[in-house]
Amino acid sequence: MTTSGNREVLLKVENLNANYGQIQALRNISFEVAKGEVAVILGANGAGKTTTLRSVCNMPVVSSSGSVTLDGKEINKSDTGDIVSRGVAHIPQGRGTFPELSVVDNLEVGGYVRKDSLDSDIDKYFEMFPRLAERKDQLAGSLSGGEQQMLAVARALMSRPELLLLDEPSLGLAPLIIEDLFKTFGALNKEEGVTMLLVEQNANLALGIAHHGYVLEAGEIVLQGPAEQLQNDSSIQDAYLGA
Ligand SMILES: Nc1ncnc2c1ncn2[C@@H]1O[C@H](COP(=O)(O)OP(=O)(O)OP(=O)(O)O)[C@@H](O)[C@H]1O
Ligand SMILES: [Mg+2]
């Protein structure tokens, strides 16, 4: 187990480079996510946020090099499916549900890797997201954008992941729904100890629930620090907090 100070490191990424053919999308980035914490990667459109999460999961669309370890074990040579079964749940940007399945079937599929009964978790997430409970037999594809995002989160959590990767969960949602969703993320982290790597453009909300933050610009990490420090950083204020 790797430790950093007295924090236990769950995900450690070192000197990660990522390419789409000739296009280099990430240049030698390094970051880590401590167990039980929320780390956020902030960055503008095209900065490389989605590519970072794809590289962590070793998705075939991108070719990456560098070191990625989960709980001290190298995962960057593993297949995406193996990485998922080691406890990494990825909610891709703007997706993450099976549109042709009902809400409740989506949750069951999310828990397929588990052998125990799923009922108590399904009840738990219906309590957390009452809108989903009211629509449990509706097809996921016919839910609103916010409801689909809630379902994507609940579905990912059904596998009881070690690490939840969230790609811009606030995208396209109304401000009140975003606030609710982030409150839920904060509670999941604080009360259930879910470790998260969140990529976002919504710096204020993301830093509000994060412990540590990184700023990605054109494929490079240009700034990093504890979340409170970044919240007070004038360059972040100018670029992302609308100051
Ligand atoms: N499948 C792909 N093929 C080729 N280039 C890609 C592909 N996906 C992303 N890129 C390029 O890689 C760079 C980083 O893209 P990425 O999607 O990681 O950005 P992002 O930070 O997630 O942006 P956004 O906030 O718009 O989602 C961009 O220049 C993008 O055009
Ligand atoms: Mg993206």
pLDDT at 110: 87
Q: Which tokens is 211 given?
A: 């412990």
CB of residue 213 inside a 6 A radius of ligand 1: no
Contacts 24+ apart (CB under 8 A), 113-116: 113/84, 113/85, 113/159, 114/158, 114/159, 114/160
pLDDT at 79: 94
> Which of 103, 111, 157 lies closest to 130 in space, CA to CA?
103
pLDDT at 212: 97
In whole angstroms, give the CA distance from residue 182 to residue 212: 16
Partners of 196 in the β-ladder:
38, 164
Place of tokens 């998922």: 84
Residues in Cβ contact with 31 at an 8 Å cutoff, skipping those fewer than 6 apart:
13, 39, 41, 214, 221, 224
Q: What is the pLDDT of residues 40-62, one digit of tens each?
A: 999 999 999 999 999 999 999 99
CA of 48, closest atom in ligand 1: 18
Q: Which tokens is 197 given?
A: 């790597």
CB of residue 22 inside a 6 A radius of ligand 1: no
Task: State how beta strands 23-34 and 7-20 pair.
Answer: antiparallel
Q: What is the pLDDT of residues 113-161, one digit of tens each?
A: 766 777 888 999 999 899 999 999 999 999 998 899 899 999 999 988 9
Closest residue (by CA) to atom 2 of ligand 1?
Answer: 20
CB of residue 64 inside a 6 A radius of ligand 1: no
Residue 221 contacts residue 47 (beta carbons within 8 Å): no
pLDDT at 233: 84
What DSSP state is assigned to residue 111?
T
Place of tokens 């978790």: 121
Among the residue ranges 36-50, 53-67, 73-87, 101-115, the one predicted with the least confidence is 101-115
In the chain, where are the structural domains located?
A: 3-16+37-48+60-202+219-233
CB of residue 83 inside a 6 A radius of ligand 1: no
**5 pLDDT more than 80:** no
Mutating to test ligand 1, I would choose from 16, 19, 20 the residue with most ligand atoms within 8 A of its C-beta, which is 20
The average pLDDT across 7-14 equals 95
Closest residue (by CA) to atom 28 of ligand 1?
Answer: 46
CB of residue 43 inside a 6 A radius of ligand 1: yes
Residue 89 contacts residue 161 (beta carbons within 8 Å): yes
The average pLDDT across 169-189 equals 89
Place of tokens 């960057």: 76
In whole angstroms, give the CA distance from residue 48 to residue 69: 20
pLDDT at 243: 43
**25 pLDDT more than 90:** yes
**236 pLDDT more than 80:** no
Residues in Cβ contact with 78 at an 8 Å cutoff, skipping those fewer than 6 apart:
58, 86
pLDDT at 241: 57
We find that the CATH architecture of domain 3-16+37-48+60-202+219-233 is: 3-Layer(aba) Sandwich (3.40)
Residues in Cβ contact with 37 at an 8 Å cutoff, skipping those fewer than 6 apart:
7, 189, 195, 196, 210, 211, 212
Q: Which tokens is 187 given?
A: 């509670």
Partners of 11 in the β-ladder:
33, 70
| Cα-trace Rg, the chain | 17
CA of 93, closest atom in ligand 1: 27
Residue 107 contacts residue 122 (beta carbons within 8 Å): yes
CB of residue 51 inside a 6 A radius of ligand 1: yes
pLDDT at 41: 97
Q: What is the pLDDT of residues 189-226, one digit of tens each?
A: 999 899 999 999 989 899 999 999 999 999 999 999 99
Q: How high is the mean pLDDT of the chain?
A: 91
Q: What is the pLDDT of residues 86-99, one digit of tens each?
A: 999 999 987 789 99
CB of residue 48 inside a 6 A radius of ligand 1: yes
Mutating to test ligand 1, I would choose from 16, 22, 23, 217 the residue with most ligand atoms within 8 A of its C-beta, which is 23
